[in-house]
């Protein structure tokens, strides 16, 4: 009696790779994402706006108004200041993004998951980030943000994954390495 044939051994792929390209629009969206989450700047704007509203409400002209009108004025002033600072900042960012070279950021990128870390390759650099230093992975509507430190992230447009399953496999592989570190 002969033993059954042994199935061939298929080794797992030891690395996963994603290739993508970043545009100026991607960089501008990243800057907007960061601005909307900048707690210190938003807190400063709210505090200054409320201080201005408090100063205005203490004048004799405002003394006759009911408290609801004063609260509405304060809310209006906060929203106005947030819009003004936001529009000014985003216009400045747009000009910066349009005229700055961003060598190594714009253009083709390749991220490769290896046992020793996440390798990024561009036309001007190659870097390895060890798994122990990873901070978090955030999935948004259009992007996958891979924070290799608490302040440094790779911006991976989700449109460059072949399918939802390919994206999930890449993310699962990343999380497996991060959790093992």
Show the domains of the chain with their CATH numbers: 16-22+107-180 (2.30.29.30), 25-99 (no CATH)
Output the pTM of the full model. Answer: 0.74
Strand ranges for 34-180 from DSSP E: 107-114, 117-121, 126-129, 136-139, 143-147, 153-157
pLDDT for 84-127, tens place per residue? 999 999 899 889 888 888 777 888 999 999 988 999 999 888 99
* Alpha-carbon span 137 to 134, nearest angstrom: 9
Phi, psi of 146 (to 5 degrees): -110, 105
In tens, the pLDDT along 27-41 reads 999 988 988 889 999
Rg of the chain taking only CA atoms, in angstroms: 25
Helix (H, G, I), strand (E, B) or coil at 107: strand
Q: Do 84 and 49 meet the contact criterion of CB atoms below 8 Å apart?
A: no
């Amino acid at each position: 009696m002969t033993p059954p044939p042994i199935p061939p051994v298929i080794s797992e792929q030891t690395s996963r790779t994603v290739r993508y390209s970043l545009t100026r629009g991607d960089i501008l969206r990243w800057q907007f994402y960061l601005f909307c989450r900048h707690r210190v700047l938003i807190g400063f704007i709210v505090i200054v706006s409320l201080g201005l509203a408090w100063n205005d409400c203490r004048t004799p002209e405002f003394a006759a108004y009911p408290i609801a009108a004063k609260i509405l004025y304060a809310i209006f002033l906060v929203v106005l200041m947030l819009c003004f600072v936001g529009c000014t900042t985003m216009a400045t960012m747009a000009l910066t993004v349009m005229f700055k070279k961003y060598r190594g950021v714009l253009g083709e990128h390749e991220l490769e998951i290896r046992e020793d870390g996440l390798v990024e390759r561009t036309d001007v650099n190659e870097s390895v980030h060890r798994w122990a230093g990873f901070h978090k992975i955030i999935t948004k509507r259009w992007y996958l943000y891979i924070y290799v430190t608490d302040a440094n992230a790779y911006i991976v447009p989700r449109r460059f994954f072949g399918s939802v399953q390919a994206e999930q496999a890449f993310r699962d592989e990343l999380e497996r390495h991060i959790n093992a570190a």
